[in-house]
Amino acid sequence: MVKVLGIDEAGRGPVIGPMVMAGIMIEEGDEALLEGAKDSKLVLHKIRLQLDKKFKESEGVDYKVLVVEPEIIDAAVLSGELNLNWLEAHKQAEIINELQPDKAIIDCPSINCESYEKYLRALLDNKEMNLIVEHKADVNYITAAAASILAKVERENQMEIIKQKYGDCGPGYPANKKTQDFVKNNWDKYPEIFRKSWSTYKRFARPEGQKSLTGYEI
């Protein structure tokens, strides 16, 4: 039987908290095990939790979830050698190499799927693996959709831990006003939860007394 793995991420863009990569694998023909899976953005929170539990407990389903902390993201972005796309490829390769599928379906983060596939394939133990690297894979393939559910639920779990420990920081996305205010007021108190390479963080993280571009202290 052909083992099919789908991979997706959650939390690529936030300034607060980790990015989560998830892979879920079934045998081809066992798609019924993932019934209900769709792009996590299209699923209500309570349904995501139910699906996450069902998938993880289903016999015939293998999965792997990786939590990529802010310091790892910053190190990649600031390295001059990696970027966020290539970091994703390395984490996807880690999942693929551990689960050893016959086919892997990737929701491609890059605008250039061909170039991304070439980079990812070079990281694999099995260089001849059947790879499907496409945009909107989480919409078009049930395994990638199921992976998006696992990734989203773990990202939400991680954010809940942060909120309980540090206070309500909103969803962690730069466009959110509550998140912006939290970064502004806490950037120097809890450095471990912020992505310091993000422009939102840099905007507020100035040495004490340094003036902003408008001439006013922040």
All structural domains of the chain, each given as residue ranges with its CATH number in brackets, are 3-164 (3.30.420.10), 165-204 (1.10.10.460)
Average pLDDT, the chain: 93
Four-point Cα dihedral 90, 94, 96, 99, nearest 10 = -170
**Residues 89-134: tens digit of each pLDDT:** 999 999 999 999 999 999 999 999 999 999 999 999 999 999 999 9
d(CA 205, CA 21): 28
Q: What is the pLDDT of residue 48?
A: 95
Q: What's the confidence (pLDDT) of residue 77?
A: 94
What's residue 208's pLDDT?
Answer: 52
Q: Report residue 207's pLDDT band, with 50, 70 and 90 as the boundaries.
A: low
Q: Is 25 helix (H, G, I), strand (E, B) or coil?
A: strand
Q: What is the spatial distance between Cα 48 and Cα 41, in angstroms, rounded to a whole number?
A: 10
Which residue is listed with tokens 């890059």?
Answer: 110
Per-residue pLDDT at 216 exceeds 80: no
Average pLDDT over residues 180-209: 89
- Roughly how many angstroms between the first and final C-alpha of the chain, as a whole number? 61
Measured CA distances, 172 to 22, 73, 106, 203 (Å):
20, 15, 25, 15
Q: What digits encode the pLDDT tens for the residues 44-85?
A: 899 999 999 999 999 999 999 999 999 999 999 999 888 999
Work out the average pLDDT over 125-147: 96
Contacts of 117 (CB under 8 A, 6+ apart): 106, 108, 131, 133
Max distance between CA atoms of the chain, in angstroms, equals 66
* pLDDT (0 to 100) of residue 40: 84
**pLDDT > 90: what percent of the chain?**
89
Q: What are phi and psi of 190, to 5 degrees?
A: -130, 60
pTM above 0.85, yes or no: yes
pLDDT band at 88 (very low <50, low <70, confident <90, very high): very high
